[in-house]
Structure 1
Amino acid sequence: MDAVKRLLQDTPEIAIFVCLALGYAVGKIRVWKLSLGGVAGTLIVAIFVGMAGHIAPNDQVKNIAFALFIFTLGYISGPTFFASLNRKSLRYFTFTVIEVVTVLILTAGATVIMKLDAGTAAGLMAGGATESAAVGTSTDAIARLSQPAETIAAWTANVGTAYSISYICGLITVVLLTSQIFPLLMRVDLRAEAERLWAKLGGGAEGDGTRAPAAPELVGRAFRVQHIAGRRLGDLVAATSGALALERMVRDGKHVAYTDDTVLAEGDEILVVGHRAEMVRAETEIGPEIVPTKELAVELDLAQVVLNHRDAVAATLGQLDAKLGSGLYITKLVRQDRELPVRPDTPVQRGDTVTVTGAKADLARTIPGLGYRLDPGVRADIVYIALGIALGFLIGKIVVRVGDIPMTFGTGGGCLLVGLVFGWFRSRNPEIGQYAPAAAEVIKTLGLSVFIAVVGLTSGPQAVKLVEKFGWGLPIAGVLMTAVPACLSLFVARRLMKLPAPLALGAVTGQQCSTPGITAVQQVAGNATPLMSYTIVYAMSNVALPLLGPITVAMATALA
């Protein structure tokens, strides 16, 4: 064991990746509906490794990893965040305000009652709000305080320990409240409420993402013209209100070009694509269904399109679908990496990603009027990303002193702010700054995980002292930090805003930026309706909560 300990002390980079591997393994362990997740698992493992080995990684590793994470977080959130700043979505900002104000008040109360230092107060706040990014902004703010080096080191270590205790309590609390207790308090059957909301949106049954429907919504069929012989092709399209589109036509064994004015002849073979409901009666309108010949073979393209054209932004998915016209179909809607219901009344906003299915020529003609097409390759514009992070570091160095307290965005706030602006600018100028979602997700996850591992390793030696000093106070405060704003938001959502239960619970989990919470709610609801409010509130809270780090540090320092 001594040899292993010396190895990790001499090469702390090995310790970091060992903590990542073990932490993500621990994070996958599921008890009932709960699992810690990779980040929290890494922190806990790193604290124990740090306690055993007194390992001191280079602080620059921590700073670079956090900058990569927080810039990418801002970049991903930018388009959705700015798109949410409209009259209809801004009412959901109420939940972020409730979270921010309540968490600060509770942190101030805990600081006064328990005599918390700035590091412990900041860690308690970050864990109770289940916001890992606040750990980074807090430690950055502590490093700028006019305190002895020993005090700075101790407070920085306390952030990680207090966060780990508070986060576990907050995670359990938000999952239990939103998926089990709140539905009982509202006296609703969450699954039945979600089904009613789903039907109101214009939907039928929904899959769970692990199965493919035996009868898919979008289908293609081949027919031999009989009943509609002698009529124009445009008459067929008009009879189905554009719900069916002709993709290929064969006459006398040869593929022929066609327009809406083309007159169909008996014996023509046509390939028709459209929604199943309209296709059911197509045989009665057209003629007998046949097995497609090789002349009728055609493949439809799939295009992922980010909506950013001002003329393309409709109020609902149904209105957007109507703008596409015949031959193009929306088959998927994604916001903030979350798939939303593809239903006529589902709201859409700028920055959403839709998957459009249709012929290559139709897609090429239509996409420029919607936004820009995502490149299916995993690419990243390193020049754009590196300049953004460098600018974030520069903004983070700006310090404005309020009395004896230095107020600054810090590395976290600076990179987050620049990431938001760069992500928004990229959405308006798609020819520059590509940062493929798959690449961004890897960088975001790895950056946060490495940062958390370093925090845990340096916090380890102080962990036992902190737990002995405050005892049960930190877990109790962590539960209150999560439960109080959640209860207030539920009251506002149901009594004042009259939101349906799925949207109310989605908003509560969104204000906490709680992925485990929304996952549990979605499992109980049985469909994706809670995501409609979750994604809006999540985008706002994901920006606001990290900024609480410096505020909490300044507040705790002043109260002390």
Structure 2
Amino acid sequence: MTFLTDPVIAVFLSLSLGYFIGLAKIGPIRLGGVCGTLFVSLLIGQLGVTVSADLKNTAFALFIFALGFSAGPQFFANIRGGWRFGIFSVIEVVTALSLVAICVYVFGFDPGTAAGLFAGSATESAVLGTAGDAISRLDMSPDGILDLESNMATAYSITYLFGLVAIVLFTTQIAPLILRKNLRTEAQALAASLGSEEEEGLESGLPILVGRAFLATPLAGQSVGSFERRHGYSVVIERVKRGDELLEATSDFTLAASDIAFVLGRRDAVIAAKDMLGEEVPVPAGAGPPIATKDVVLLRRDLFGRRIEELRGIGNIEAQRGIFITRIRRLGHHVPVLPKTRLQEGDVITLQGSEALLNGAATRLGKALPSTTATDLMFMGLGIVVGLLVGRLAFKTGALELTLGAGGGALISGLFFGWLNMRYPNRAYLPPPAAEFAKEFGLATFIAAIGLAAGPGAIALIAEYGLILPVLGAAMSLTPALVSLFVGWKLMKIEMPILLGVIAGQHCSTPTISALVSQAGNATPVIGYTVTYAISNVLLPLVGPVVIALAESLARSAS
């Protein structure tokens, strides 16, 4: 078994076995690969594996930059938007930080244990990096720093598990009981109020946009525009076959009884419109116009906050016919594409429709994303370097030295480069799959390096605080959620599915939003989740050094 002490083998074995363990489910809760990696690395670390600190720092820089890059557009958009939902991220930070201070005072936790408790209960792994950077700058021996890092990793592994279980159960089971509401019923009612009962295409895997051909006999003498207006332009007549002639159908085109109309629209809308049309016939050869797809980042300022249904009333309607929004991606999550869904700056909108009109529609909304899947490594490398340099800046206020550290600097740089990419999609491009890989691999490798180095000291902390930490992890996860539930439901009157999504987002918990969406039966909780997720993903890591400074200050005052 001596091969396990090889650091390269130990790291990748931790990743492999950790992600295998992460597949395990406790009811609706999946442990997750990152947490599984930490458990395995702590176990292998008992053999005394030596991992270079450079590997840990490099992996974390990659992760935190990609995290900031992905969150950048929505983070800045929500700051300018008034922080209506962002207040819940502040509740998370203030409540969790206050509880950590109480725990340090009552139980005498060292800074490492305090940071692990904060990160685990808030289910935000990025805190480990920024807090660990602050620990490395403490005035103590290398062995003392190693002990604190070990305690941080161990406390995180215990409290994350119980904090995750607590927040998933709270949002999917406990909160609905407190509010005396059925989550699925409320989510269906909210979706209906937004203009649709189901997102059938997404859930069933069937195509969202479909084309059909019908005899136009019931519409004889009517214009194409009058038919389309009755259906809110969710269905359009693209072309008409009259005899042997194939004609383009404009809004003022008048239909005849013998015409065959080629209809294009969202699947549910086409099904609903069938009653107004005649017999369905096979699509005539060559009748269907080429259907293209284009992803566009929303940059047009007068559309921020507008409902999808309002877009048809803006600009030349003829230029919009045959163009449909089939998906909206926000922070990597699909937002319900419903008539009353509001758009946000930085939304990635998938347009489908007539190839001839698609480029013009994309230009009116913002800028089309490049078709390439290549990562702009020049700007990515530059962004990380800029972040690391920013993290070295320090300001002294009396005896207190304030600095972002490498993690905070890379996060800020990632936010800026993410915003830059939103404004200029052909620059600093980091495709979403590449960004997800950088986040996942960077974080998992960083966690493995921490766990392997911390292994020998883990048993001592578990023996000292083993029974206390699980209780504190669950309690500190639930307390901010309870405060947010009261504020959101009683004071702000937020719809229940959106509010529960907000609470999942303030915890930065992807497993929680997955469980919520499954329980709700549709994606309406994502509407609230993306806002607080973007803000908490920035605020919580920046608080990591604050936790270390607070715990050290309380420890000194106690002594």
Q: Distance in 2 between matches of 1:176 and 1:260?
A: 52
| 1:90 shift after superposition | 1.1
Assess if the C-alpha contact under 8 Å between 1:503 and 1:531 holds in 2: yes
Report the counterpart of residue 302 of structure 1 in structure 2: 293
| 1:207 shift after superposition | 4.3
| 1:81 maps to 2:75 | yes
Name the SS for the 2:204 alignment partner. coil
Deviates more, 1:401-410 or 1:527-536: 401-410
Q: For residues 233 and 393 of structure 1, do their structure 2 counterparts lie closer, same or farther at Cα, with a shift above 3 Å needed?
A: same
Report the counterpart of residue 546 of structure 2 in structure 1: 551
Q: Could you tell me which of 4, 7, 19 is aligned with 1:8?
A: 4
Report the counterpart of residue 273 of structure 1 in structure 2: 264
Q: Distance in 1 between matches of 2:274 and 2:529?
A: 43
| 1:125 shift after superposition | 0.8
Q: For residues 453 and 238 of structure 1, do their structure 2 counterparts lie closer, same or farther at Cα, with a shift above 3 Å needed?
A: closer
| 1:500 shift after superposition | 2.0
| 1:348 maps to 2:343 | yes
Report the counterpart of residue 460 of structure 1 in structure 2: 455
Q: For residues 227 and 484 of structure 1, do their structure 2 counterparts lie closer, same or farther at Cα, with a shift above 3 Å needed?
A: closer
Cα RMSD after superposing both structures: 2.3
Unaligned runs of 5+ in 2: none
Name the SS for the 1:112 alignment partner. helix
Report the counterpart of residue 308 of structure 2 in structure 1: 317
| 1:54 maps to 2:45 | no
Name the SS for the 2:79 alignment partner. coil
Report matched runs for 1:533-544 at 5 Å: 533-544=528-539
Deviates more, 1:403-412 or 1:506-515: 403-412
Report matched runs for 1:37-48 at 5 Å: 37-48=32-43
Report the counterpart of residue 510 of structure 1 in structure 2: 505
CA deviation vs aligned residue, 1:245-276 (integer Å, no higher than 9, x gap): 33334444354556555565664444221346
| 1:491 shift after superposition | 1.0
| 1:150 maps to 2:146 | no
Assess if the C-alpha contact under 8 Å between 2:303 and 2:343 holds in 1: no
Q: Distance in 2 between matches of 1:257 and 1:321?
A: 20
CA deviation vs aligned residue, 1:342-398 (integer Å, no higher than 9, x gap): 111112111112221111111111101111222344221111111100000101111
Assess if the C-alpha contact under 8 Å between 2:420 and 2:427 holds in 1: no
Assess if the C-alpha contact under 8 Å between 1:250 and 1:295 holds in 2: no
CA deviation vs aligned residue, 1:200-249 (integer Å, no higher than 9, x gap): 11111344955235xx6643222345565676655655565544433334
Report the counterpart of residue 99 of structure 2 in structure 1: 106
Q: Distance in 2 between matches of 1:397 and 1:475?
A: 35
- TM normalised by structure 2 equals 0.93
Opposite residue 85 of structure 1, the aligned amino acid is I
Assess if the C-alpha contact under 8 Å between 2:238 and 2:248 holds in 1: no
Q: For residues 14 and 295 of structure 1, do their structure 2 counterparts lie closer, same or farther at Cα, with a shift above 3 Å needed?
A: same
Q: Distance in 2 between matches of 1:234 and 1:478?
A: 60
Q: Distance in 2 between matches of 1:157 and 1:278?
A: 58
Name the SS for the 1:220 alignment partner. strand
| 1:205 maps to 2:198 | yes
Assess if the C-alpha contact under 8 Å between 1:66 and 1:447 holds in 2: yes
Assess if the C-alpha contact under 8 Å between 1:400 and 1:406 holds in 2: yes
Name the SS for the 1:354 alignment partner. strand
CA deviation vs aligned residue, 1:153-211 (integer Å, no higher than 9, x gap): 21122111111111111111111211111211111112111121111111113449552
| 1:64 shift after superposition | 0.7
Q: Could you tell me which of 281, 284, 295 is aligned with 1:293?
A: 284
Q: Distance in 2 between matches of 1:300 and 1:292?
A: 15
Q: Distance in 1 between matches of 2:229 and 2:495?
A: 38
Q: Could you tell me which of 180, 185, 188 is aligned with 1:195?
A: 188
| 1:136 maps to 2:129 | yes
Q: For residues 383 and 192 of structure 1, do their structure 2 counterparts lie closer, same or farther at Cα, with a shift above 3 Å needed?
A: same
| 1:462 shift after superposition | 0.5
Report the counterpart of residue 59 of structure 2 in structure 1: 65
Assess if the C-alpha contact under 8 Å between 2:508 and 2:537 holds in 1: yes
Q: Distance in 2 between matches of 1:178 and 1:253?
A: 60
| 1:286 shift after superposition | 6.5
Q: Distance in 2 between matches of 1:508 and 1:202?
A: 24
| 1:114 shift after superposition | 1.4
Assess if the C-alpha contact under 8 Å between 1:511 and 1:538 holds in 2: yes
Name the SS for the 1:84 alignment partner. helix
Assess if the C-alpha contact under 8 Å between 1:247 and 1:271 holds in 2: yes
The number of residues matched between the two structures is: 551
Deviates more, 1:308-317 or 1:276-285: 276-285
| 1:92 maps to 2:85 | yes
Assess if the C-alpha contact under 8 Å between 1:165 and 1:475 holds in 2: yes
CA deviation vs aligned residue, 1:515-550 (integer Å, no higher than 9, x gap): 122222222222211111111111111110001111
Q: For residues 203 and 238 of structure 1, do their structure 2 counterparts lie closer, same or farther at Cα, with a shift above 3 Å needed?
A: closer
Opposite residue 554 of structure 1, the aligned amino acid is A
Q: Could you tell me which of 345, 349, 366 is aligned with 2:361?
A: 366
Deviates more, 1:19-28 or 1:417-426: 417-426
Deviates more, 1:492-501 or 1:131-140: 492-501
Name the SS for the 1:92 alignment partner. coil
Q: Could you tell me which of 31, 40, 48 is aligned with 2:26?
A: 31
Q: For residues 236 and 203 of structure 1, do their structure 2 counterparts lie closer, same or farther at Cα, with a shift above 3 Å needed?
A: closer
Assess if the C-alpha contact under 8 Å between 2:91 and 2:483 holds in 1: yes
Assess if the C-alpha contact under 8 Å between 1:405 and 1:554 holds in 2: no
- TM normalised by structure 1 equals 0.92
Name the SS for the 2:449 alignment partner. helix
Report the counterpart of residue 469 of structure 1 in structure 2: 464
Q: Distance in 2 between matches of 1:90 and 1:199?
A: 26
Name the SS for the 1:91 alignment partner. coil
Report matched runs for 1:178-189 at 5 Å: 178-189=171-182
Unaligned runs of 5+ in 1: none
Opposite residue 375 of structure 1, the aligned amino acid is P
| 1:102 shift after superposition | 0.9
Assess if the C-alpha contact under 8 Å between 2:202 and 2:208 holds in 1: no
Q: For residues 203 and 288 of structure 1, do their structure 2 counterparts lie closer, same or farther at Cα, with a shift above 3 Å needed?
A: closer
| 1:424 maps to 2:390 | no
Q: Could you tell me which of 129, 153, 162 is aligned with 2:155?
A: 162
Deviates more, 1:192-201 or 1:220-229: 220-229
Deviates more, 1:92-101 or 1:476-485: 476-485
Deviates more, 1:143-152 or 1:398-407: 398-407
Deviates more, 1:318-327 or 1:497-506: 318-327
Q: Distance in 1 between matches of 2:280 and 2:446?
A: 61
| 1:69 shift after superposition | 0.4
Deviates more, 1:232-241 or 1:303-312: 232-241
Assess if the C-alpha contact under 8 Å between 2:238 and 2:249 holds in 1: no
Opposite residue 130 of structure 2, the aligned amino acid is T
Report matched runs for 1:398-409 at 5 Å: 398-409=393-404
Q: Could you tell me which of 196, 209, 222 is aligned with 2:213?
A: 222
Assess if the C-alpha contact under 8 Å between 1:313 and 1:320 holds in 2: no
| 1:299 shift after superposition | 3.4
